[in-house]
Structure formats: structure tokens, C-alpha cells
Amino acid sequence: MIKFYKNTKSSSFMLIWIMFLSYIMNSTCSTSKKLFGHAKLDGNYQINEQNDPLPGFLYSRELTFHDLLDVLDELKNYVTRYDRQIVCGDMEPKNELCKTVIHQLAIKYFEAAMNTSRTGLKSYVWRQMHNNELYGVMLILDPKHGNEQDEMYQILKASTYQRDICASLLLESGSNEHLRYIRLHSGPDRSLSELIKKLMMRQFVDESTQLYLCTEYKTAGVHTVSIFANQLSLKHFVNSGFEVVECGTKLYEVCRNSWFKNRCLMVRTITSADCLSP
């Protein structure tokens, strides 16, 4: 009798859990075109005053200086992987001088994103609803907006130029981004199930991609862009209309930067439809 009660209790719990996940997946699919779940995709990224997120595992809001400590480590990892050759030359990543330069550059990138936000091109952070921990970030920087004599903007232009050259070597026509986008993925709570992790990833990629597409359209109108997507999120970008051009080893051979090894060059044409309210 006790054994039967335990089995019944367990079955009831599993049924409730399956119904909950089904509800979340249906809700996520039905709201996937709504920027951040609780923002209006009208090109202005106006967050509702109540700021009540619709069903989902993540919530998002505009980047503020209070996010610096949470974002800094992920941003330093990005700079180490991508900009280290520009700022450190032949120095190893563990070199104290190189680490100091990377730390300073990461802070300057953050400050540049905050300055760009003041022009109306806002960066966002995503946090996990159940514990408020950082999940991901989309920093938007304008290489043309800033002091030309500032070393940070020179580095920003150099690294942006590096991406543009790499893309142009593999594409027949130019497809440059007009702004610089730094998408950082901190990752979920490790104790979560694989299904929930996948749903979080889908939500983050969908929403940050909407932000990216709409911002690019506001900046330059109809045009084609190229991105270097992480291979782990390749399917999400394909579902968002991007086409794969080249991946992995070929990218590294052409671009000569280890950052490109696990990435794919993808292209997509941006139109006014990417910046309309659902």
C-alpha cells in the first residue's frame, strides 16, 4: 500500500511537471516574436512600466552600471579570446601586463556600451528568473561615436575591421555591420535540467537576435549583414533566417584568429519587417 502511494504520488508529480513544461513551450513559441517577452518591438525598445515578464525562464532589462561586476568576467573572457592579439601582441594571456590591459579594455567596452545607450541604441542584460543570476548580455557599441584619439576606439575599430575583412574574403559582396555587437553567454544554473537549459538558450538567442536585427535596421535601413555565430547556437540563427557560408577550420585558415575556430560565418538581409510590432 505504501509502495502504491509513493508510485501514485510520483506519477502525479511527473504529470504536473510535464504539463508545466508543455505550457512553457507553447507560451514561448507563441511569444517568440515579442522582444524580450515584456518589451514592445516598435524600434524604441520601450519596456512596460509594470515590467512583468510573460512566461519564460529569463527576464531582460536595459544595461546599467550596476551590471558591471556581473558582466566584467564574461567581457574579459571575450576580449581575451578575440582582441588579445591586437592589445597584447605576442604576450601570453597569463602575462600580468596583458591581463591588466584586457581588464582595462573590458571596462572601457562596458563604458562605451553605456555611452551608446544614451544615443538611443540600448544594450540589454538577461537574468534567470528563479535566482536573478546573469544569463546573457548584448552590448551595442558605435565605433564612430567617441574620441578618435582614445585607444579603446582605435582597438574597437581594428577588431571590427578584422571581422569585416574576414567576412569579405569569404563573401562575394560586402555585408558589414554598422555597429559593433558583443553577445555574451554566461550560461544557466548547472542544476537545471537539459530541457530547461535549451529553452533558456532559445529564448536568449531569439530575443537578442531581434534586438540585433532591429537595431541594425534603425541604423542603416535595408542591407545584408554577416555574423560569426557560435556553432552551438547555429540552429537558432538558421531559424532566424540566417544562411551558413563557412564554418570552423576554414574560417581560422582565412581569418587567422583562434576566436573563429568554433564559429560559422552566416549572412542575412535585414528589412523593415525585422523592426515591426507583432
Coil, strand or helix at 187:
coil
Match domain 31-275 to its CATH number in 3.40.50, 3.40.630, 3.90.25, 3.30.70.
Answer: 3.40.630
Per-residue pLDDT of the chain (278 residues; tens, 9 = 90+): 333 334 444 444 443 443 444 444 444 333 333 344 333 333 333 333 334 434 579 999 999 999 999 999 999 999 988 888 788 888 888 899 999 999 999 999 999 999 999 999 999 999 999 999 999 999 999 887 777 777 888 888 887 888 888 888 888 766 678 899 999 998 888 888 999 998 998 899 889 999 999 999 999 999 999 998 888 888 888 988 999 999 888 888 888 877 788 889 999 999 999 987 54
Task: Domain ranges for the chain, please list them.
Answer: 31-275
Cβ contact 203:57 at 8 Å: yes
57 in Cβ contact with 31 (< 8 Å):
no
Number of helical (H) and strand (E) elements in the chain, helices listed first: 8, 7
Contacts of 183 (CB under 8 A, 6+ apart): 136, 137, 138, 139, 208, 212
Would the pTM count as exceeding 0.85?
no
**What is d(CA 135, CA 182) in angstroms, rounded to the nearest whole number?**
14
